[in-house]
Amino acid sequence: MTALRPELDPDALVVPRGRPGSARAALAHRDFRVVYIGAFASNIGTWMQNVVLAAWAHTLTGSASFVGVIIFAQLGPLLFVTPIGGLLADRFDRRRLLIAAQVAQMAMTTVLAGLALDDSPNLALIVVVVFSIGMGNAINAPTWSATIPLMVGRRDLPGAISLNSTQMNGSRVIGPAIGGLLFPWLGPAFVFLLNALTFLAVIAVLIRVTLPPIPTAAGRSGWRQILGGIDVARTNPVVARSLVLLATFSLLAITFVGQMPVVAHDNFGIDPESFAYGALYALFGLGAMFGSLAQGTVWSDRSKAAAVPRALMAYAALLLPFALASEPATAFPLAFAVGFAYFTFITSLSTTLQDVIDDGVRGRVMALWIMGFGGMVPIGNLVAGPIIEATSMRAVMVFGVVVALILARFADLRRLGATA
């Protein structure tokens, strides 16, 4: 096999250390850098599939309720299975666990591609396969979140979290743009198969790294181990308030993201099968990417705890005009701005939370984070689907504005002792 040129090989890159806690300082850690690049490639495929999956569900049925069911199947396991994933992340080899999760998701995504070859696929079977992919993600997500600090250390943790959020949202830009182009041209089956192949990127880099040993937590057994994150939340007010803010926000204030095909079609007259839809989703992701990146670059020396309530207020101020707009020309810049405020809030909150967690229970506490961040979203979408059909997408989005403003009043984590 021909070796990569030094300037193209992530192993050979020499990244100058920047200010402690900055994105540059995090990238100076070789294993983090290698895994980061592989995860970026895989997440491009994931978001390429996500944008097409929702649009495909809407195309098959024309129903916001079915889109909500698909979102629940995709993200619901994050609510129910993630605590087990967090325990596994704190007890077993995280590298092997991550590889197993990638293999499982790759296999089921290939099955989904096969279903998409049928012009009239079984809807129930689609839901089952999507749920299976979500199960793999429910193991992968808390393991990955708990692995980041071990690769960079606590000092450079803010930069690593910022970069991780950036790659997640950068993939939201590239993935939907590719998916929006390929869906009408080559169909959903091709997009799903292409995503299955991207899992190989993460598997390849995980084989090449050695992660530090997992710190040993206090000896407990059975369900007490699984619920270890809840014990931390009960005794640490910063952790408790952060998780409540995140769960409430994800349940009630961000529903429109899962219902983006409905937003595009009903509010702006954009066809979910068009490239314009992919561009709308991509601009939202681009804004989110810049919002998260700013936390590890231009704002790396600013208090993340102080940014949480400000970001919530900015999100509410920007979501309102996005909800009320009807012209596509207005929708695109507003989608970018809402995305920026959204992930300024998420990244700041995540950094504040991780700063106060002990490494021995990090996997289980981050499992609660994943439950709030991803697990509450499908419930919100499941409930919102019938409400949207009975009222309107705009009404649900305006309700999200009100929720964000209320949460901002309770979001000053510095009063609870946060120092990040």
Q: Which residue's structure tokens are 């009222």?
A: 391
Q: Which residue's structure tokens are 């809407």?
A: 58
Contacts of 87 (CB under 8 A, 6+ apart): 225, 226, 228, 363, 364, 367
Contacts of 9 (CB under 8 A, 6+ apart): 3
Residue 395 lies in a domain: yes
Residue 9 lies in a domain: no
Residue 12 lies in a domain: no
Angle at 259 between CA 267 and CA 268, to 5 degrees: 15
Assess contact for 287 and 344: CB atoms under 8 A: no
Q: In total, how many domains does the chain have?
A: 1
Q: Which H or E run contains 229? A: helix 228-235
Closest Cα to residue 15, out of 31, 39, 2, 3? Answer: 31
Residue 18 lies in a domain: no
Residue 13 lies in a domain: no
Residue 128 lies in a domain: yes
Closest Cα to residue 413, out of 299, 312, 290? Answer: 312
Cα gap 111→311, rounded to integer Å: 40
pLDDT at 139: 84
At position 188, the amino acid (one-letter code) is P
Helices 82-91 and 362-370: angle between axes, nearest 10 degrees: 160
Written as one string, the DSSP assignment of 29-59 is SHHHHHHHHHHHHHHHHHHHHHHHHHHHHHH
pLDDT at 170: 67
Contacts of 86 (CB under 8 A, 6+ apart): 142, 146, 226, 229, 363, 364, 365, 366, 367, 368, 370
Q: Assign residue 46 the CATH number of its domain.
A: 1.20.1250.20
pLDDT at 214: 63
DSSP state of 122: -
Residue 228 lies in a domain: yes
Structure tokens at 192: 């799903």
Cα gap 197→406, rounded to integer Å: 43
DSSP state of 217: P
3-state SS class at 118: coil
Cα gap 275→263, rounded to integer Å: 15
CA 306 to chain centre: 22
pLDDT at 11: 47
pLDDT tens, N- to C-terminus, the chain (420 residues): 334 444 444 444 444 555 666 777 878 888 888 888 887 888 788 878 887 888 888 888 888 788 878 878 887 787 777 777 777 777 777 788 889 998 999 999 999 999 988 888 889 999 999 999 988 888 887 787 777 767 777 677 777 777 777 776 667 667 777 777 787 788 889 989 988 988 888 888 888 877 766 655 544 444 555 566 677 778 889 999 999 999 999 999 998 887 888 899 899 998 877 778 878 877 887 888 788 778 777 777 788 889 999 999 999 999 999 999 999 899 999 999 999 999 899 989 988 887 887 766 766 777 788 778 777 877 887 788 889 888 999 999 999 999 999 999 999 998 887 776
Q: How far apart are the first and last CA of the chain?
A: 45
**How long, in residues, is the chain?**
420
CA 366 to chain centre: 13
Cα gap 262→178, rounded to integer Å: 20
Residue 331 lies in a domain: yes
Tell me which residue range forms the domain holding 80: 23-214+221-416
